[in-house]
A and B are shown apart, each in its own frame.
Chain A
Amino acid sequence: MRWLLQTTVLHVLLAGLGLMWLVASGMHQESAWAMQQAEMSAAPAADIRSALALPEDAWRPLDQAELARWHGEYWLRFRLEAPESAQREAWLLTMSLRAASTVYWDGQFIGQNGQPAAERPQEVPGRIDSQFLLDRSLAGPGPHRVMIHASSHRASAMASAEAGIRVLSYPQARRYAWRWLVVALALGAIVSALAYWSIALRTTLATQTRDAGRPWLLALGMVGVLLPLAESWRPLFGYDYDWHALRLSLILALHAATALLLPGYLIARFIAAPHRWFATLGIAWLALSSLVLAPAGFDARSWLVQFGGLVLALTIASLQWRTLEVRPLCALLLSSIFVALAWPADFLDGLYFIALALVMVYLMLDDAAHARRLGELHERLSAERDRLRLQLLHRAIQPHWLMNSLTSLQELIEQAPAHASRLVELLAEHFSLLRAHSERDQVSLSEEIALCRVQLDIAGLAQQGCVAFRVEGDVSGIDLPPGVLHCLVENALTHAGFRACAEQGFTLRVDRNAGRVHLELRAPLAPTRSTSLADGGTGTQYVRASLARRSPQGASFAHGARADYWCSTMEWPCVS
């Protein structure tokens, strides 16, 4: 049970990487410093002295929603309680604020992030995240007050300002980046899988075959690479605060793209054409509904998009449960949905990338294996095509027919030179058609009929008779493997004999029904035998192999004796 093994491996990876993320996140959030109060004030105060002199009623509790909409100068005040061991360690003040700011610790200037100003032109934007070293003399045990003079002239309107400070020890600060290593690992896995997938497609020649799902998977892979990059842009490199809205919009767009591409790929890969449009319309409707009903706030929207994409993908994948390759994917999507419900915040921040990376790595490895199988099949079919071409030529120059025709030509040269000349022309036409046929995978039915008629004309001239080849039905727009009818005609000439062929002739009935082409060739029956065409003969083997190569699943060939004729029928799906 290979799919069970794959499912197990995927879940071990999901659990392992997810646990690493959760542990790293927990370490980051723990702080020995207790936040006792966070306040904000819009009262005018040009410097720290003025701010310290502000009356207490000028301060009010920090309102993130209001701060998010603020566009001028303001002051923030945080009251912290340092632990008893505070002086034994070195501390960093980490600050997240969409503003230009100047930071004061217990009234003492400790650093600047940009340049706050009363007017936009004078403001120099600060970084979205900043850190300030706290001298040991500043971080003594007991209460401390942090005051921040800020201005946010360039901030876009958002649901929450997400302003905050945290005091971390050096080891904690170092561990700050650990969880992003997990995301980096996921990113590396996606990039590796993408590279392996690309190489696999090139080396297996599968790119020569059209696969509707492959562009979707490529797009999904690209989005899968961009999404963690966009997410880790802030913790790894940082940026000025006025870029924040752009980054969040980019992340949301990438989330939306992933949520559409993943189900889209599954539809293209596994859902048959008639049902594909219904599934696509369903996705489009759900996406539109989500946009209309989307809640405010980046996090809520992102979570909804992530969750919706996973549910959609799971729904589509579940429809193909009978396909073994889909089962590990179904299990992984189900587990991801569970994680999204159980740890929504962590899922949004990082677990989603891990789950997405595993899904994408699995899809790319599976598609690479699929491409390899297709490549092998392609090689087998190419070898089969070459074998069939050789067989076609070999049959066409088989000594009995060719040498008898040449011997007849010898006699005609002496008996009737005009007929001999005509026979030479027919032989030339026959070999010309045959050469053209042997170089192609498919020929039109009218070309195949022309080849048969030339063959019969040659036999007629050599045997001093005439064989009719009647066609009933519309032959236009029908292609078939070369030499199929020619082979059946040649079989009838050989086995039933020329006299029977001349008396009865051939009738080809062409029909299109229920999306399939149906050909029925009525050939003369051998006078003394009820089975003129042995089932294991090279001729019928050629016909079967050619049709099987044309439509591996959908072609059929049958033949047998009827009351007074030999009937060969063949069918294959119409090419729309």
Chain B
Amino acid sequence: MRVLIVEDEILVRQRLLRLASEHTGGRMRFDAACALSEAEDRLARAVYDGVLLDLNLEGEDGFELLRRCCARAFHTIVVSAHTDRALEAFAHGVLDFVAKPFNQERLGLALDRLAGAAQHRPGAMRWLNVWRARGTALVSLDDVLAIRADGDHSEVMLAARSELHDKPLGRLISLLPADFVRCHRAWLVNLRHVQQFSALSGSRWQLRLSNGANVPVGRGFVSGLRAQLL
């Protein structure tokens, strides 16, 4: 796995690099950026699985940066002193929040979470960052009916339109709340918007959503889905 550390304080950056390297012992490769522009440049040139992000880079409110990061394919772990905004960060879809000052144990826990993100499910996410023509926009998860895999991206289905999100379905599910369940290898559905669970001919099943759209249900997911709906 490849992880980018974005931190403007030199000693803090050195500490992150040192502790992270010691903890992962070569399982992860770490790069560091001291400024936002440098971080953007690295993210554009290489594929990263995770970012350790300081929320206050040169005095900028880090949440705009956080929204851009959370809309992308990699997971984000915030390393910040602003613990009062941790809940807000989780709502944007960060995988973990490490408060400063930190020790190796706490940082290691966050990195372990990043390594096993598929099993980890904080479920505190409230909004989904989607790409628009001019940057990112926030979509409330309450308005999301279902999410469909679209290659390396995800198509987010709303009542009247669809949006695009960078994270693949596998990474996204580790952030979403428990209302979102897998009903097909290519579909996640929001149980709050399911109106009908019906059988079709040929042992096929489908879900009818609140906007009238139908979502297929894979055979392997029928029993689990039925248990959750009933």
Q: Which residues of A are in contact with B by a Cβ distance under 8 Å? A: 399-400, 402-404, 406-412, 415, 462-464, 494-498, 526, 528, 532
Contact indicator A495/B101 (Cβ below 8 Å): no
Residue of B nearest to A463 (CB): B10
Residue of A nearest to B85 (CB): A399
How distant is B135 from chain A, measured CB to nearest CB, in Å?
A: 18
How distant is A530 from chain B, measured CB to nearest CB, in Å?
A: 15
Chain A residues near B136 (CB-CB < 8 A): none
Q: List 20 A-B contacts (CB under 8 A).
A: A399-B81, A399-B84, A400-B81, A402-B81, A403-B100, A403-B101, A404-B9, A407-B12, A407-B100, A411-B11, A415-B11, A462-B10, A463-B11, A464-B10, A464-B11, A494-B59, A497-B8, A497-B59, A498-B8, A528-B37
Q: How far is the CA of A495 from the CA of B81 in the complex (A)?
A: 17
Q: Which of B34-86 contact A (CB under 8 A)?
A: 37, 56, 58-59, 81-84
Contact indicator A408/B58 (Cβ below 8 Å): no
Contact indicator A497/B11 (Cβ below 8 Å): no
Q: How far is the CA of A142 from the CA of B9 in the complex (A)?
A: 119
Q: How far is the CA of A463 from the CA of B100 in the complex (A)?
A: 16
B102: Cβ under 8 A from any A Cβ: yes
How distant is B78 from chain A, measured CB to nearest CB, in Å?
A: 13
Q: How far is the CA of A264 from the CA of B104 in the complex (A)?
A: 76
Contact indicator B102/A526 (Cβ below 8 Å): no
Residue of A nearest to B11 (CB): A408
Residue of A nearest to B55 (CB): A400
- Encoded as 1 (CB less than 8 Å from any A CB) or 0, chain B from 124 to 155 comes to 00000000000000000000000000000000
B195: Cβ under 8 A from any A Cβ: no
How distant is B83 from chain A, measured CB to nearest CB, in Å?
A: 7
Contact indicator B101/A407 (Cβ below 8 Å): yes
For chain B, the bracket of interface size reads 20 to 34
Chain B residues near A463 (CB-CB < 8 A): 9-11
Q: Which of B87-132 contact A (CB under 8 A)?
A: 99-103
Residue of A nearest to B60 (CB): A495
Given contacts A399-B82, A399-B83, contact A404 B12 (CB under 8 A): yes
Q: How far is the CA of A352 from the CA of B58 in the complex (A)?
A: 75
Chain A residues near B99 (CB-CB < 8 A): 403
Chain B residues near A494 (CB-CB < 8 A): 58-59
Chain A residues near B37 (CB-CB < 8 A): 528
Chain B residues near A462 (CB-CB < 8 A): 9-11
Q: Which residues of B are in contact with A by a Cβ distance under 8 Å? A: 8-12, 14-15, 18, 37, 56, 58-59, 81-84, 99-103
Identify A407's interface contact among B11, B56, B59, B83, CB under 8 A. B11
Chain B residues near A532 (CB-CB < 8 A): 59
Identify A403's interface contact among B11, B18, B59, B81, CB under 8 A. B81
Contact indicator A400/B82 (Cβ below 8 Å): yes
**Extra inter-chain contacts (17) besides given A462-B9, A526-B58, CB under 8 Å:** A399-B81, A399-B84, A403-B81, A404-B9, A406-B100, A406-B101, A407-B9, A407-B11, A410-B103, A412-B11, A463-B11, A464-B10, A494-B58, A496-B58, A498-B8, A526-B59, A532-B59
How distant is B163 from chain A, measured CB to nearest CB, in Å?
A: 30
How distant is A378 from chain B, measured CB to nearest CB, in Å?
A: 35
Q: How far is the CA of A280 from the CA of B9 in the complex (A)?
A: 65
Contact indicator B9/A408 (Cβ below 8 Å): yes
Residue of A nearest to B99 (CB): A403
Identify A497's interface contact among B14, B58, B84, B100, CB under 8 A. B58
Residue of B nearest to A491 (CB): B59
Chain A residues near B100 (CB-CB < 8 A): 399, 403-404, 406-407
Q: How far is the CA of A520 from the CA of B58 in the complex (A)?
A: 24
Q: Which of B14, B59, B100, B102 has the most CB of A within 10 A?
A: B59
How distant is A522 from chain B, measured CB to nearest CB, in Å?
A: 18
How distant is B139 from chain A, measured CB to nearest CB, in Å?
A: 29
Chain B residues near A404 (CB-CB < 8 A): 9, 12, 81, 100
Contact indicator B15/A407 (Cβ below 8 Å): yes
Contact indicator B102/A407 (Cβ below 8 Å): yes
Chain A residues near B56 (CB-CB < 8 A): 400
How distant is B33 from chain A, measured CB to nearest CB, in Å?
A: 14
Q: How far is the CA of A411 from the CA of B59 in the complex (A)?
A: 22
Chain B residues near A403 (CB-CB < 8 A): 81, 99-101
Residue of A nearest to B56 (CB): A400
4 tightest A-B CB contacts, nearest first: A403-B81, A399-B81, A408-B11, A494-B59
Contact indicator A410/B15 (Cβ below 8 Å): yes
Residue of A nearest to B79 (CB): A407
How distant is A424 from chain B, measured CB to nearest CB, in Å?
A: 14
Q: How far is the CA of A410 from the CA of B37 in the complex (A)?
A: 27
Q: How far is the CA of A415 from the CA of B17 in the complex (A)?
A: 13
Q: How far is the CA of A403 from the CA of B102 in the complex (A)?
A: 10
Identify A408's interface contact among B12, B59, B103, CB under 8 A. B12
Chain B residues near A496 (CB-CB < 8 A): 58
Contact indicator A495/B59 (Cβ below 8 Å): yes
Q: How far is the CA of A404 from the CA of B56 in the complex (A)?
A: 10
Chain A residues near B84 (CB-CB < 8 A): 399
Contact indicator B14/A415 (Cβ below 8 Å): yes
Q: How far is the CA of A498 from the CA of B35 in the complex (A)?
A: 12
How distant is A228 from chain B, measured CB to nearest CB, in Å?
A: 69
Contact indicator A411/B14 (Cβ below 8 Å): yes
Residue of B nearest to A462 (CB): B11
Chain A residues near B10 (CB-CB < 8 A): 462-464
Residue of A nearest to B35 (CB): A497
Contact indicator B9/A495 (Cβ below 8 Å): no
Q: How far is the CA of A513 from the CA of B173 in the complex (A)?
A: 68
Q: How far is the CA of A463 from the CA of B83 in the complex (A)?
A: 23
How distant is B55 from chain A, measured CB to nearest CB, in Å?
A: 8
Contact indicator A411/B12 (Cβ below 8 Å): yes
Chain A residues near B101 (CB-CB < 8 A): 403, 406-407, 409-410
Q: How far is the CA of A131 from the CA of B95 in the complex (A)?
A: 109
Q: How far is the CA of A73 from the CA of B100 in the complex (A)?
A: 108
Chain B residues near A400 (CB-CB < 8 A): 56, 81-82
How distant is A75 from chain B, measured CB to nearest CB, in Å?
A: 105
Residue of A nearest to B81 (CB): A403
Chain B residues near A411 (CB-CB < 8 A): 11-12, 14-15, 18
Chain B residues near A408 (CB-CB < 8 A): 9, 11-12, 15
Residue of A nearest to B100 (CB): A403
Q: How far is the CA of A409 from the CA of B102 in the complex (A)?
A: 11
Q: How far is the CA of A406 from the CA of B18 in the complex (A)?
A: 17
Q: How far is the CA of A400 from the CA of B57 in the complex (A)?
A: 10
Chain B residues near A497 (CB-CB < 8 A): 8, 58-59
Residue of B nearest to A402 (CB): B81
How distant is A121 from chain B, measured CB to nearest CB, in Å?
A: 98
Q: How far is the CA of A496 from the CA of B8 in the complex (A)?
A: 12
Chain B residues near A528 (CB-CB < 8 A): 37
